[in-house]
Amino acid sequence: MGASSGLLGSFMVLKRMSLVGDALSHVALPGMAIALTFSLNPIVGAIMALTFAVFGIWYLGEKTEVYSEALVGVFFTASLAMGILITPEPELLEALFGNIENINLFDGLVTICGSILIFFGAMKLSDRLLLGVVSEDLARSMGVKMHKVNLAYLLLVGLVVALGVKFVGTLLTGALVIVPAVAAKNMTKSVRSFQIMSSVIGVASAACGILVAQSLGVAPGPIVVLISISAFLLSLLFKN
């Protein structure tokens, strides 16, 4: 999970879409609420809600003049309001902040398989995504179907967010994706090393956060994020 979210976060930073992961994490809330209402696994509800939102954002972005970031903001606010209204109160706190202690075997298997899919999907799209960062018009002139690439990219973002909400909650999942990538950007000078360092910081933050949280007897989600932020602050020294 840490490796895949860090790798995908590197593309989000390069595409200047750092807040998209944070906004999409709130879209998962109503899906989790509906899943809990029907006694389903919250991850299933989060994946369904995010898939619907991603297709909606992608379609409207292709058919209208509204920027993707603005569309994400619309879906974010609507989903957050709906999620707070319909999420059962006992589960609301866990949905917002996550609880790694309640992760079962199914959650673990889904997370492992999803993380592998994200990792290899991001690597397969890497060259086309980077070309799109330079210029989408140039990419299209070279025969790259950027509308399909952007859809696949948004689906990967939605999947990594859906997997993260069970661990750190809808309020902190965006940080799990973005902070390691921002820290890695300060430490590296090439795209390849940037991607590798993003994954390394993501893994290290998750592992250290869980160990520290267990020793302190507190929720691991906030600790994982704080360790990532510590890595970012240290990275500023390398940048200087």
Band (pLDDT 50/70/90 cuts) for residue 76 is: low
pTM of the model: 0.78
- What is the set of domains in the chain, with CATH numbers? 7-239 (1.10.3470.10)
**Average pLDDT score over the chain:** 77
Q: Would you say how long the chain is, in residues?
A: 240
Least Cα distance to 22 among 33, 34, 35, 9 occurs for 9
Band (pLDDT 50/70/90 cuts) for residue 235 is: confident
pLDDT of residue 171: 64
Q: What distance in Å separates the CA atoms of residue 187 and residue 232, rounded to the nearest whole number?
A: 9
- Locate 24 and state its tokens: 């999409």
Which has more pLDDT, 174 or 202?
202
Band (pLDDT 50/70/90 cuts) for residue 75 is: low
